[in-house]
Chains A and B, each alone.
Chain A
Amino acid sequence: MHCDPIPVSQDALGAKGMMATSPQPVGGYHRACTLPFMVSRIAAGFPSPADDYVEKQIDLNTHLIQHREATFILRVTGWSMRDAGIFDGDEIIVDRAITPVDGKIVVAAINGDLTVKRLRRIGNAVHLVAENPEFPAIILKEGEELCIWGVVTRVLHRV
């Protein structure tokens, strides 16, 4: 079974990768996952006693993604969030629909790059704090503009 978190089926896009002009809500671009409804094949008409206990297979998409349209996966490079469990090479799931409030780990656009920091509101100032003592925090003064790209919800880390 193959389920990309943000799949785009060839069917929905056409061979050239162009968008189909179908006006259906985007629900259509989920690649179908096959889900078993019955554990056993019924050969002679007697159902397996286990059939009553069958549930749908676990679907990582529904578990990891809350707002499908607003969710993006980014790859991180660097170690500034090591103590928050985000390591070099990890993939992070970022949900842009979530409001970035104090304490959230966020993706921020700083000097033209995307970076990850913990958002802290201290008094009137906004701090972007690294989770690694070797990296300094960024402190924004009043009037300075900050572009929060999205809120990090999960880390995908290969063990």
Chain B
Amino acid sequence: MAIALVDANNFYVSCERVFRPDLEGRPVVVLSNNDGCVVARSAEVKALGVVMGTPWFHLQKLAKREGIIALSSNYTLYADMSNRMMGILSSFSPIQEVYSIDECFLDLRGFAQDRLSHMGQAARQKVRQWVGLPVGVGIAATKTLAKLANHVAKKMPEYAGVCVWDELPEGDQQRLLQQLPVSEVWGVGRQWTTRLQETGIQTVWDLRQADPALMRKRFSLLMERSIRELRGEPCIAMVDIPPPRQEIQSSRSFGRTVTSAEELGEAISLYTVRAAIKLRRQGSVAGALRVFIHTNPFQVHLPQYHATRTVALNHPSQDTRVFLQAGRIALVDMYRSGLAYAKAGVHLLEITSADALQADLFTSAEDEARANQLMITLDRVNARFGSGTLQPGVAGLQEPRGWAMKRGNKSPAYTTRWADLARAKLE
């Protein structure tokens, strides 16, 4: 049994550099929506001690002194580059689990143990040549160890980007696990880290040595699985098809502050429309809708307000109109005037399969069929003529919307739009 975890180094920055060779070797960050916080850092920026999530305005001085280049996030580009990268990696194994935009697991069972390292190098080389992205490869008997091996491959130059865990001498394995803090273990979040530290478990090695049965009692089955995986016992299977999302959300920060209930309602309606599309695309219905609004927590001199309302529906639905109505109720209840709102969002909750839906006593089958037909038509029109072609008027009719996101320094959609193609200078 062998599993590889392949992920790209500084994925967003690396995508940008493919089309901007001038950014090679220079400190580059990619900022979150609205150019708020750092979401990707080049190695040069990491070396300056800039941490993930730093608000961009905190970095102004350093950026000026060190010449840091800040780019707005260009998810169109990253998604296309990700699809290409995953396509290339899928040629190395019939079983691939895409875990996030820039990482995937590959099931390598059946490969001879002494070929694994070679295979890792081949995958790394192919992705580098075909799409220009640098990737690291960790290979081990379990997903949890593959994650750690990947970490080692990236952090320690002597591994040249590929680490096969089982090829390390046992003494080295122990030493590495003793060096790594327990927070590096896949699935161990901040809360668990604190609790583990309280019980004296500091390093990955400490956790590996803990008693699985006891830890299951103290924490959960997931903790026991992590410990067993650290010992090389596979407990977490490859997921071929991701389960339908249990929660669907759509939220954005505004490009400028929003104060009026009308504009706030417009934004919430638009997010609701988008969330409902995602819901129908995965063939689900939702039983409740949660809406949140909040002011900008960084503007400490202004009055702060955070509010969330959840509205339960009478009957699980996938009808945009039902969600819009629920969103309206939530907003009316929580809106306070005189505040500068910075962000709003919509979550669809209690998601279940539309097929398993029971008939509603208070709606006639005919009405329901009509509603479904309307939604299908809506989705088809938008799929054919572009998203947003046909949508409820409450989501705002003006383009661009005054409150839409700021993306001051976004690179072109080099790979997906004719007007945005990368340029080659023939001089």
What is the interface of chain A, defined by CB distance below 8 A to chain B? 4, 6-8, 10-19, 21-23, 25-27, 29, 67-70, 72-81, 86, 88, 91-92, 96-97, 107, 109, 112-116, 130, 135, 147, 149
Chain B contacts of A11 at CB under 8 A?
281, 383
Nearest CB to that of A86 among chain B residues?
A: B426
Asked whether B222 is an interface residue with its Cβ less than 8 Å from the other chain, the reply is: no
Chain B contacts of A112 at CB under 8 A?
20-22, 24
Asked whether B294 is an interface residue with its Cβ less than 8 Å from the other chain, the reply is: no
For chains A and B in complex, what number of residue pairs have CB atoms within 8 angstroms?
144
11 other A-B residue contacts (CB within 8 Å) besides A8-B79, A25-B90, A78-B425: A6-B416, A10-B387, A18-B101, A23-B98, A69-B87, A73-B421, A74-B424, A77-B426, A79-B426, A81-B426, A112-B20
Instruction: Report B67-93 CB contacts with A as 1/0, cut-off 8 Å.
Output: 000000001101110111111101000
Chain B contacts of A114 at CB under 8 A?
19, 21, 422-425
Please tell me which one of the listed residues B21, B80, B241 contacts residue A113 in the complex, with CB atoms under 8 A apart: B21
A-B pairs, 5 with minimum CB distance: A112-B22, A26-B87, A78-B426, A109-B21, A70-B130
Asked whether B97 is an interface residue with its Cβ less than 8 Å from the other chain, the reply is: yes
**A8 to B415, alpha carbons, bound, how many Å?**
9
Please tell me which one of the listed residues A14, A27, A88, A149 contacts residue B426 in the complex, with CB atoms under 8 A apart: A88
Chain A contacts of B421 at CB under 8 A?
73-75, 91
Chain B contacts of A22 at CB under 8 A?
98, 241-242
Chain A contacts of B302 at CB under 8 A?
none
Say yes or no: B129 contacts A76, CB within 8 Å: no
Say yes or no: B241 contacts A96, CB within 8 Å: no
Instruction: Report B383-395 CB contacts with A as 1/0, cut-off 8 Å.
Output: 1000100000000
**A35 to B130, alpha carbons, bound, how many Å?**
30
Asked whether B122 is an interface residue with its Cβ less than 8 Å from the other chain, the reply is: no
Chain B contacts of A92 at CB under 8 A?
424
Chain B contacts of A75 at CB under 8 A?
421-424
CB distance from A87 to the nearest CB of B (A): 9
Say yes or no: A116 contacts B426, CB within 8 Å: yes
Say yes or no: B83 contacts A26, CB within 8 Å: yes
Nearest CB to that of B388 among chain A residues?
A: A15
Given the interface pairs A15-B278, A17-B75, A107-B424, the reply to whether A27 lies near B383 with Cβ below 8 Å is no
- Best-buried of B20, B96, B130 by chain A (most CB within 10 Å): B130
CB distance from B305 to the nearest CB of A (A): 26
- 14 A-B contact pairs sorted by A residue (CB < 8 Å): A15-B274, A21-B98, A21-B99, A21-B242, A22-B241, A23-B242, A25-B90, A27-B87, A29-B83, A69-B131, A72-B414, A72-B422, A75-B424, A112-B21
**A80 to B101, alpha carbons, bound, how many Å?**
39
Given the interface pairs A113-B21, A114-B21, the reply to whether A69 lies near B88 with Cβ below 8 Å is yes
**A146 to B86, alpha carbons, bound, how many Å?**
27
Chain A contacts of B424 at CB under 8 A?
74-77, 92, 107, 113-116
Asked whether B359 is an interface residue with its Cβ less than 8 Å from the other chain, the reply is: no
**A91 to B422, alpha carbons, bound, how many Å?**
10
Nearest CB to that of A135 among chain B residues?
A: B427
- Best-buried of A10, A16, A81 by chain B (most CB within 10 Å): A16
**A19 to B80, alpha carbons, bound, how many Å?**
8
Chain B contacts of A86 at CB under 8 A?
426
Asked whether B104 is an interface residue with its Cβ less than 8 Å from the other chain, the reply is: yes
Chain B contacts of A25 at CB under 8 A?
86-87, 90, 96
Given the interface pairs A8-B416, A26-B87, the reply to whether A19 lies near B101 with Cβ below 8 Å is yes
Given the interface pairs A18-B79, A69-B130, A74-B424, the reply to whether A26 lies near B90 with Cβ below 8 Å is yes
Nearest CB to that of B76 among chain A residues?
A: A17
Chain B contacts of A91 at CB under 8 A?
421
Say yes or no: B131 contacts A23, CB within 8 Å: no
CB distance from B150 to the nearest CB of A (A): 18
Chain B contacts of A69 at CB under 8 A?
84-85, 87-88, 130-131
Please tell me which one of the listed residues A14, A19, A81 contacts residue B82 in the complex, with CB atoms under 8 A apart: A19
